[in-house]
Structure 1
């Protein structure tokens, strides 16, 4: 969906830039020539309703676009800065350190990132775990849910906090050579 929105935005930006360039006299067009075709200008002049309706539609589209941007920005803000009180935020940071330390102690787990996100009405915990390629994910998931996640929920005071766990495998990328580790002599 983001690719389609970006492509649409790029096309609209290019159309606007081209119209501005033509209006300023680029592409060999005289600058005093009207931007609209004379037939379209005549049509708009003969029908008094055309320009107010076109303006109204353009304003509605612009308003919908601005509302969409506000909703998207709000989502990004809540993803990075949860809408909870400062006391809960402090408890969440301390509990996240404990959860990360406990998860890293599990066999096969390399890196752990913990983040409390969402709003005050709908908070959630995001846990990103990087494991070795031969790690049994089900065992890590079971141990994580039985111990560290429950302790996090108790520490934060949210016993029904939804948790999203994302596992990533730490495998070397193809085509990249690892440099041999040389011991100093």
Structure 2
């Protein structure tokens, strides 16, 4: 879906840039295209003969613009709820303290390099997102089992949400290659 939106945005941006360049006279070297009428004469004749055409086209454009604005509002709301969950201040403070404890516990597990904990969602449907960066040779199933057995349950009880859904994402981090010192040349 993001590719289609990006492609649509790119096409619209290029069309707007071309229209601006046309209006500024950049294409006048090709025979003064800015002096031509905006609508083809056949379309202008059709619009003149049928009084409903231009209002219907304007109405369709308005509906399309309204749909786009509503879609932007929904997307913005989703982003806001991802970064700032819709929770009361007391729960937010407890969640922040519990997240610090959970982060410390997860980093103490064998093979875990780093972790990020975030409470997201709405007040009706909160969820906990845990991103865990592990060494490449770490057994993810063992880390997952340890997470579910202790730290995640402690987080749920500290926040007061025993049925809180948890999404755990693992990301392998390759080991850093050791830099070998160049051996001194002997002659």
Report the TM-score when normalising by structure 2: 0.89
Matches within 5 A, 1:137-152: 137-152=140-155
Question: 1:9-158 maps to which residues of 2 (within 5 A)?
Answer: 9-28=9-28, 29=32, 31-158=34-161
Contact in 2 for aligned 1:23/1:35 (Cα 8 Å): no
Task: Please state whether the residue corresponding to 1:110 is helix, strand or coil.
Answer: strand
SS in 1 for 2:170: strand
Unaligned runs of 5+ in 1: none
Report the aligned-residue RMSD: 1.7
Distance of 2:96 and 2:180 partners within structure 1: 38
Q: Which residue of 2 aligns with 1:8?
A: 8
What is the alpha-carbon distance in structure 2 between the residues aligned to residue 125 and residue 92 of structure 1?
10
Q: TM-score, normalised by structure 1?
A: 0.90
Query: Is the contact between residue 22 and residue 35 of structure 1 (CA under 8 Å) also seen in structure 2?
Result: no
Deviations 1:128-153 (A, max 9, x none): 00111111111111110010000000
Give distance in 2, aligned partners of 1:172 and 1:7.
Answer: 37
Alpha-carbon distance in 1 for matches of 2:17, 2:6 = 16
How far is 1:96 from its partner? 0.4
How many residue pairs match? The answer is 178
Q: What SS does the corresponding residue of 1:161 show, helix, strand or coil? A: coil
